[in-house]
Amino acid sequence: MRSRDERGSALVELTWLGILLLVPLLWIVLSVFEVQRGAFGVSAAARSAGRAFALAPDDTTGRTRAEAAARLALADQGVTEAPVEVAVTCTPYPTDCHSGTSVITIQVRSRVVLPLLPDLFGGGRPSFRLDASHTVPIGQYVEVTAR
């Protein structure tokens, strides 16, 4: 009798343990990798956006190029749908970043949506915020154009 009862129990164990243990584990692995991919992308984006901004001839072109560079760096990591925010601050001339002796700080912010989690719990899909920054000096041998 006993040996008959046990028949099939391995399958049940396999199914339940598989669902309870391996599926959440798989989700954790996927989420961690998604967030890490975003972190790589954002850190590379800050660097290339900083370079692009500093090498552009003026602030307006710089801003366009910095955003394009940031998007390209993120797309390189496969992050294409995430929102990208590129903020540029400069000292000591906040309105003229390409003036001599200026120091530019580029901050890139983005968000990674955790995979396979729909709007189950309300309040939008859960996401992970990421940011990175890079500081680039313009140099002392450049004309000071700010007034």
Partner 1 sequence: MTRRRGHRGEPGQASLLIVGLAFVLVLMTAVVVDASAAFLQRQGLDTVADGAALAGADAGARGEEAYTEGVDEERLRLWADSARTGVADYLARSGAHERYPGLTVEVAVDPTGRRVVVRVRAPLDLPFTVPGSPNRPVIGAEGAAVVAPRR
Where do contacts with partner 1 occur on this chain (CB under 8 A)? 2-3, 6, 9-11, 13-14, 17-18, 21-22, 25, 28-29, 32-33, 36, 39-40, 43-44, 46-47, 50, 103, 105, 132-137, 139-141
Task: Work out the number of other CB atoms within 10 angstroms of the CB of residue 130.
Answer: 21
CA distance 67 to 65: 5
Q: Which is nearer to partner 1, 22 or 144 (CB)?
A: 22
Burial of 79 (0-12, 13-18, 19+ CB in 10 A): buried
29 versus 75: smaller Cβ distance to partner 1: 29
Q: Nearest distance from residue 123's CB to partner 1, in Å?
A: 27
CA angle 45, 96, 50 (to 5 degrees): 15
Closest distance of CB 117 from partner 1, Å: 19
Provide φ and ψ at 130, rounded to 5°. -130, 140
Residue whose CB is less far from partner 1, 33 or 115: 33
CB of 134 to partner 1, least distance (A): 5
Least distance (Å) between residue 124 CB and partner 1: 26
Nearest to residue 84, comparing CAs of 34, 132, 27?
A: 132
Q: Closer to partner 1 by CB, 3 or 95: give it.
A: 3
Q: H or E element: which one contains 15?
A: helix 9-17
Residue 122: CB minimum distance to partner 1, A:
29
Please, which residue, 67 or 102, has the CB nearer to partner 1?
102
Nearest CA-CA partner of 49 in 64, 71, 70, 76:
70
